[in-house]
Amino acid sequence: MDRLHVRLPSTAVAVVALLGAALSVHPADADATRPAGSAAPPPAASAVRDGTGGLGDSYFPSYGNSGYRVGHYGIRVAFNPRTERLRGTTHVRARATTRLTRFHLDLVLRASRVLVNGERARFDQTAHELVVRPAHAVRKGHPLRVEVIYAGKPGHRRLRGFTPWVTTRDGAVAVGEPEIAAWWFPSNDHPSDKASFDVAVTVPKRKQVVSNGRMVGKHVAHGKATFRWRANAPMAPYLAFIAIGDFRLLQGRAAGLPYVYAVSKELSPRVRSNALHSLRSTGAATRFLVHQWGRYPFAQIGGVVPGPVISDNFGYALENQTRPLYAPSSFSSGPARSLVVHEMAHQWFGDAVALRRWKHIWLNEGLATYSEWLWSGHRGGDTANEIFHRFYDNLEAGSGFWKMRIGDPGPERLFDNRVYDRGAMTAHALRTRIGDRDFFTTMRRWVHDNRDGLGTTEELRSLAQQVSGERLAGLFRAWLQTPRKPAATRANAVFD
């Protein structure tokens, strides 16, 4: 995510920090609502190890769900920009990790029917959770196939006064971090449960739809157009997006990869020109990043700039897998090629390797920011070492810059500027300590030898120690876990 335009405590980050404590995950709670026609739930089977809401992430306890792991989402939605109403049917293919007589999905829109393994299931909903009780228990290790039919106006569905759904002058955008999925499809909404995606979106025929991966079909009939997109590589649910609008589409190949760039025709000529210049730098950015971090992790590249925003909750860029999306305001004063480098670096750090828990956010933002520093030196600007020392030498020990543990910043400060800049400083300190060869070997192995595509700070430290043969606990502790300026020592990789 681009930190330059992130709006902190008053919006999404503060809201999601509250959700974990405030949102209930049990159907008997006072704010639960039962859809019309659904039967009352049976008594709880306390002796059965069922799935529950939440995966144990201390930052967002209600995010994700236990009891199963998803392999694939098949999402089919229809959206009417005039009424802002979305209708959807999503098929979830999963496997039970324990015996299930109930399980949860994250969904904000109202469900009207749920099928589990082909049979009608009972269900309840809270503000954020769909609690499903299949007609027959699903045995551990067995397939779990769920069909959910649902509808609503996602832009009007707010939790604690906030919605990540973005309304634009020419359509809408489903985009957000750390959450967006629940506003347009039911999911196991945590980055630690990746899956492949097929997405079909029906809109008025003059509109276009852009999503992740590659477009595999378009069908026009009866005044409607249906766009089908497919993302085969496993993807965290929050990285799945759709952008609906009046786009100018550019397609071709760059850096040896097929690209799709989409820029809204509703933008002013100046912003549109700046946006196009920036998106066209994606190929060069990708080639540069391949040289730094190894092969590109996916099969497509691209970028999307939607139309002018009507809602007030979008002023950032986000690294949606294969196709980042950029707020129009990113290009109001000129091209933003460094921003493109940042979001494309996330394809390695954040997308190919996602977070096991949200507290490790520096692994995403610090390494994407460090990629910008490397790009600066590559383009003849300040080098990474010069940028590092500009921070270190000019910010006194008493500065608030140092007074945060960026290795565990807290849910309300996920996108604090210090996570980005001090995260990049940590990467540079590691590089200085173990040397270029071992640093870049470590980071390439981090991405390309990572079997489950997930990571934590401890896992990165262990890998760096394995590659370099050095003990690095002190360095990681000084830069990530200590709320004060690291001492200028060789152990901390700061040399006078």
Higher confidence at residue 20 or residue 483? 483
pLDDT tens by residue, 437-452: 999 999 999 999 999 9
What is the rounded CA–CA span in Å between residue 125 and residue 171?
28
- Check whether 155 has a pLDDT greater than 80: yes
Which candidate, 387, 386, 377, 361, places its Cα nearest to that of 291? 377
Q: Which CATH class is domain 3-352?
A: mainly beta
pLDDT tens by residue, 171-196: 999 999 999 999 999 999 999 999 99
What is the rounded CA–CA span in Å between residue 487 and residue 397?
9
Higher confidence at residue 106 or residue 43? 106
Domain boundaries along the sequence of the chain: 3-352, 358-481
Which range (112-126, 226-240, 303-317) has the least confidence? 303-317
Does CATH number 3.40.50.12240 belong to domain 358-481?
no
- Check whether 42 has a pLDDT greater than 50: no
pLDDT tens by residue, 381-436: 999 999 999 999 999 999 999 999 999 999 999 999 999 999 999 999 999 999 99
Give the Å distances, CA to CA, from 144 to 90, 101, 132, 185.
13, 12, 12, 17
CA atoms within 13 A on the CB side of 251: 6
